[in-house]
């Protein structure tokens, strides 16, 4: 399992997404990875994220979305975080706007860690105080510190 706090970096956090729609928000987060050493083909990776999204919305409810892909074009786990105070229409299972979006990617052959990480992140996001902390954080550093705190528990 990957600890999110070990992979989340300042340059991969957007405190206020410009996007109002799902596709735009995913693309906005993907752009943070452009030129990253973890990605061997940026455009193909983005395609895979959208292919996964076509299978069903990754808006999991309670204002949270986890767009993700297992990709042949990644050599290492990546995570980006975007927040929208007004909310993004993500076609979520509860039809509520999404305010917290985590874009995740992992190498295609790293299935076990990937599934454990998705489960770990889902468990954290079920905690209302965790979600509230992420919504109230004023800096990117605070976002990372919140993860560190909750991942130590």
Among 98, 110, 95, CA closest to 65: 98
Which one of the listed residues 19, 36, 67, 68 is annotated catalytic?
Answer: 68
Structure confidence at residue 112 as a pLDDT band (50, 70, 90): confident
Structure confidence at residue 153 as a pLDDT band (50, 70, 90): low
- Residues 7, 80: Cα–Cα separation, whole Å: 9
What digits encode the pLDDT tens for the residues 72-107?
999 999 999 999 999 999 989 899 999 999 999 999
What digits encode the pLDDT tens for the residues 62-81?
999 999 999 999 999 999 99
Among 120, 118, 143, CA closest to 132: 143
- Residue 97 CB: number of other CB atoms within 10 A? 16
Region 118-138: what's the mean pLDDT? 94
Q: Considering the chain, what is the average pLDDT of its residues?
A: 94
DSSP symbol at 139 = S
Cα angle 25, 88, 69; round to 5: 45
Among 53, 44, 121, CA closest to 90: 53
Q: Which range marks the domain in which residue 99 is found? A: 4-152
Mean pLDDT check: name the lowest of 59-63, 101-105, 113-117: 113-117
Asked if residue 1 has pLDDT above 80, the reply is no
Q: How many domains does the chain have?
A: 1
Q: Which CATH number belongs to the domain containing residue 34 in this structure?
A: 3.40.930.10
Pairing state of beta strands 59-61 and 68-71?
Answer: unpaired
Active site residue 68: yes
Residue percentage of the chain with pLDDT more than 70:
99
């Amino acid at each position: 399992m990957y600890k999110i706090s070990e992979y989340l970096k300042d340059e991969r956090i957007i405190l206020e997404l410009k996007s109002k729609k799902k596709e735009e928000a995913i693309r906005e987060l993907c752009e943070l990875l452009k030129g990253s050493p973890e990605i061997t083909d940026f455009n193909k990776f983005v395609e895979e994220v959208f292919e996964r999204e076509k299978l069903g919305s990754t808006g999991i409810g309670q204002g949270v979305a986890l767009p993700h892909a297992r990709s042949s074009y990644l050599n290492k786990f990546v995570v980006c975080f975007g927040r929208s105070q007004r909310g993004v229409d993500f076609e979520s299972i509860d039809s509520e706007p999404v305010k917290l979006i985590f874009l995740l990617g992992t190498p295609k052959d790293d299935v076990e860690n990937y599934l454990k990480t998705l489960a770990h992140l889902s468990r954290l996001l079920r905690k209302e105080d965790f979600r509230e902390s992420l919504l109230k954080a004023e800096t990117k550093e605070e976002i990372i510190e919140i993860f560190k705190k909750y991942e130590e528990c």
